[in-house]
Amino acid sequence: MSESFDGHAPESSKKKSRLNKKSLLSKLFVLGLVAALAVVAYLYLNTQKELARLSTAQGQTELAQKEIKEVTEKLGKLTLLPDEEPVIATVMDAQLLATQSAFYQNAENGDKLVVYPKAQKAYIYSPAKNIIVNAGPLVVDQDQNSRPVRFELRNGSGTPGAAAALKDRLEQQQQLVSALTDAANSNYTQTLVIPINPAIQPDQLTTFAESLGVDARVAAELPAGEATSEADILIIVGSSASDSQAGPPSTPPSQ
C-alpha cells in the first residue's frame, strides 16, 4: 500500500502561521493605537474644560484662594502672621520696584508680596528660597497707596555708632531703615522721634518712642537746622541712646 505525501504542506502551514501572527500583531497595534488616542482625547478634553473653568471669575477666585493657602502655609512657618486673609501679588519687575521703594531692594522676580490690610503689615516672600526677603508695617500715602513705613536715622549724640546700633535693632524687628546719616548738630541728649509723613500723627508715635527704651520723646516739628527727610519717620539719636540697653521697639502705627 502506497501513501501519497505532499511536500508543500509543511511550508504552507508555516506561512499561514506567520500570517496569523502578523494579523494578530496588527490588530493589537491598532487596538493599542485606538486606546492611546482615546486617552489623549480624554486628557485633552478635560484640560480644555479645566482651562475654560479657570478662565471664569469663579475659576480665578479658586486659583487665588489656592495661592493664598500655599503661600501663607509656608510663610506662617517662618513668622507669626496676622489673623486675616492677605492680598498676594507676584513681583514681576523687581528692578523697577527697587527704584521706587527701598522695601523691594532685595526682591527678585517671582517673589510674593503678601499684604495684610487690617494689620497694616507687608511681607516679601521668596518661594524659591523659602525666606522672608523683607517685612514691615504699611503706611497709606495721601494718594491712598499702601507701602511699608520708612525710617531715617540720624546720629546726633556725638558718639560714633549710636544710630547704627538702633538701626540694627529696628531691622531685627523687620523695620525698613532707608537712610543712616549724621544730624546737623551732635549735642542732642534726648532721642527725637519726628513724623515726616502727614498721614502719621505725632500722638500715634508715643508708644513707639517709649518702646525704644531710651530717653526719647515725640517731636511734632524738625529741630532748627535739620533738613527734612524722604522717610516717613525721622529718628534723631541722642546721647542717652548710647548708654541704654533696650529691648526690641514696638511696631510704629500706620495710617
pLDDT at 197 (0 to 100): 83
pLDDT at 54 (0 to 100): 42
As a whole number of angstroms, the distance between CA 156 and CA 194 comes to: 14
Q: In which residue ranges of the chain is CATH 3.30.70 found?
A: 150-243
Place of cell 519726628: 194
As a whole number of angstroms, the distance between CA 101 and CA 92 comes to: 15
As a whole number of angstroms, the distance between CA 38 and CA 174 comes to: 56
pLDDT one-digit tens code per residue, 144-156: 455 678 889 999 9
* Residue 98 scores a pLDDT above 80: no
**Residues 230/253, Cβ–Cβ less than 8 Å:** no
Mean pLDDT of the chain: 76
pLDDT at 144 (0 to 100): 43
* Residue 75 scores a pLDDT above 70: yes
* Residue 221 scores a pLDDT above 80: yes
**Residues 21/29, Cβ–Cβ less than 8 Å:** no
Cell for 85?
A: 486673609
* Residue 53 scores a pLDDT above 60: no
pLDDT one-digit tens code per residue, 18-30: 656 666 667 666 6
Helix axes 9-54, 57-75, angle to 10 degrees: 90
Q: Which residues contact 141 (CB under 8 A, 6 or more apart)?
A: 147, 197, 199
From the candidate CATH numbers 3.30.70, 1.20.1530, 3.90.79, 3.40.50, the one assigned to the domain spanning 150-243? 3.30.70
Place of cell 496676622: 82
DSSP 2: -
What is the pLDDT confidence band of residue 125, given thresholds at 50, 70 and 90?
very high
Amino acid, res. 46: N
CA distances from 10 to 2, 13, 14, 18 (A): 20, 5, 6, 13
| 117: phi then psi, degrees, rounded to nearest 5 | -60, -45
pLDDT at 40 (0 to 100): 60
* Residue 137 scores a pLDDT above 50: yes
Give just the sign of the alpha carbon dihedral 212, 218, 222, 223: negative
Strand, helix or coil at 51?
Answer: helix
